[in-house]
Amino acid sequence: MKKVLFIACLALLATACEKKGPEYKNKDDDKSVVLDLKGTIASGVDGLGASWAEGAQISAFVGYSTDAHQLNVQFAASSVDGATASFATKIKKVEEQTSYVAIYPYSKNAKYDSVQDTIGFSLPATQTYVAGGVVPEALPMLAKSSTTELSFQQLCGVFRIALTGEAKVNSIEVEALKIAGPCTVNAGSGAISMKSTATDKITLSFSETATLSDTPTAFNVVVPPGIYSAVYYTIFAEDGTQMAAYDEDVVITKGSVTNAKTTVYSSETPEEVNPDLTADGFANCYMVTAPGEYFFKCGIPDGNGTIAKGASVKWVWAISGAWATKEEASVDKLVKDITYDSTKDEIHFTVPENYTFGNVLIALLDADTKISYGWHIWLTNKVNTVNIGGVEFMDRNLGAGGVLNVNDADANAINNSVGLNYQWGRKDAHPGALGFVKADETTAFAEGSTPYSVINTGIANVDTWKMAAYDLNPDLSKLMNAAQNPCTLVSSAANEAIFPACGLNQWPAEADPCPFGYHVPSREQFNKLTGEGVEATSAKNEENNLIAAAIFNGSLVIPVCGYRNSSKAKAPIDGRYWSQDHESTNKLHGYWYQISTAKVSSQTANEIHSAYVRCVKN
């Protein structure tokens, strides 16, 4: 009997010696054993990643170390048969496991905490393009079992950009909030939690270019599951052109493919960004359409080259239609690294790579941290103009993230097209209503929602006055006392001595809120909208008739987005837009234009009312 057992042991030893793969080395090698694991891929991602690659390697966690983290052991596939593979390696002999946990692909730095039942892992920031699929290692999988039979489940989903057109693509960048880098995986549920140090960009690299044609070419990017307020993607072509697009409210589900909305490659030669925003001249508003490092001279656009002086610089308020929740509202997502160079009279700031549309007021402060002068930084996409009757109208409202499309199914895209509110003669906007607002301060698409804005409370005079009491939305009442605001809060002619700019026939040029090269339109220019040969049509959102626009000559879209009177939002039966002209017989009233889906008319309004601005080219 002993002889039979001895022969059996020799047979087992010979079988063990035939196993191939990396060894886990330890001091007590005589106590090592060979551990066999069987891994099966439960399901792929719409046909992607349904089979093991030859030589696939996994991290399996067996045995305990002194800090309660199970040992990370590298296992290589010894045989592969489609979705099933055998893994084996030599490890230190341990007590029989109550559970086996493994993650694919193998990562030297992966750690399993058996107490928390979590795995510390990292999702790659660079993935390699494979025609019609993904590199196997780009699709992470997890398995947990009470036996050595492991069923691997997908942890991520795929964001697929399928393009037709003419280009040779050699790189793609996908950006969203925290999609690569360090994360924690729950071994029981497979839920991924990205860490605070995670990054916002994944680059799809190419070993050789992919040529587009009339048949869609699919580019697959593996993304952790989640609901993303925006996913930005940029396709770079071999000839130096590129195409940038973004989708809002993108849902990525593990084991599934989410298709990008953009399907046709539209080449665009990247504009060279001049970091000096004052290269052409001084303004109260500087428009930024790309990430990068920028600066501007602290000049006042009074025509005299006057330079504002201060002791320090801070952001005052910020607002963005790309923030899906109040918790996401952060000025750092718009601009960061704001500095003041007093020797050069320059303010510097950075717009991050994860470019977000929005608005920020940056101000010079005096020694008492009171605002000396402020500038509006407007982050939007490329702005065009539309010629109506010889007047070049900007294609969007001042402060808007884009042009209104009432048929857009995305509420954020619609709300981001409205822009900012202004009082007549005032250069600085209110960080007020975001989107089409009802009289109860809710937006048209979400009952109870309020604008997402942030206000810097570290400024001495940020909260010293209010346009009026915003009872329904206290955040909107925290309006800052920005300097150089003629006619602000004027309620009677007796205040003329306090506000000497009142009574001017036109909006003062030094207080014009438009970017350099543009200005608030005159009544004569606004009247071109009703001139001979101009055809006006109307458009309404089918789901919500509150969302509407007037369209002139089929190309100039002006939102019917209401106004504010005595601080209260007025339901948008029309849109109120300031002209630069003033009522000649009433020093407290400027002219605004009421633009509805049916007509365009003008009337005078008290300067403290809050309306929109549509800039025109000089």
Domain termination residue (choose one: 259, 291, 315): 259
The residue from 228, 259, 290 where one domain ends is: 259
Beta bridge partner(s), residue 76:
57, 88
pTM over 0.85: no
Name which of 369, 426, 417 is nearest 395 in CA terms. 417
> In sequence order, which residues have a C-beta less than 8 Å from that of residue 519 and are 6 or more positions away?
509, 512, 580, 615, 616, 618
- For residue 325, is it within any domain? no
Residue 273 per-residue DSSP state: P
Look at residue 303 and tell me if it is in a domain: no
Q: For residue 80, is it within any domain?
A: yes
Count of CB atoms situated within 10 Å of the CB of 76: 16
In a domain, 504, yes or no: yes
Bridge pairing between strands 100-104 and 57-64: antiparallel
Within-domain flag for 585: yes
pLDDT in tens, 500-556: 344 556 788 888 999 999 999 999 999 999 998 899 998 888 778 888 999 999 889
Number of domains in the chain: 2
User: Domain ends where: 237, 259, 281?
Assistant: 259
Q: Which helix (H) or strand (E) holds 12?
A: helix 2-18
Domain presence at residue 359: no
Q: Which residue has the tokens 């587009």?
A: 212
One DSSP character per residue, 522-587 reads PHHHHGGGGSTT--EEEEE-SS-TT-EEEEETTTEEEE--BEEETTEEE--SSEEEEEEEE-SS-T
Asked, for residue 281, whether it belongs to a domain, the answer is: no
84, containing H or E segment: strand 84-92
Paired with 583 in beta bridges are: none
Dump pLDDT digits (tens) for 343-385.
Answer: 999 999 999 987 778 899 998 988 988 888 889 999 998 898 9
Q: CA geometry: angle at 176 spanning 45 and 243, to 5°? A: 90
- Alpha-carbon distance values, 15 to 68, 80, 95 (Å): 33, 18, 22
Interior/surface letters 249-280, b for 16+ CB within 10 angstroms, e for the rest:
ebebebbebbebebeebeeeeeeeeeeebbee
How much is the pLDDT for 592? Answer: 92
386 and 248 in one domain? no
CA neighbor of 199 nearest in space, from 113, 118, 126: 126
| 252 and 395 together in one domain | no
| Same domain, residue pair 421 and 565 | yes
> Cβ(336)–Cβ(350) under 8 Å?
yes
Q: Within the chain, which residues score under 70 in pLDDT? A: 1-33, 63-69, 91-97, 270-271, 324, 409-410, 412, 431-434, 441, 445-452, 460-505, 566-568, 586-587
Tabulate helix, strand, coil % of the chain (nearest 5).
10, 45, 50
Range of the domain at 176: 21-259
Find out whether 323 and 360 touch, Cβ atoms under 8 Å.
Answer: no
- Is 290 among the domain residues? no
pLDDT at 567: 59
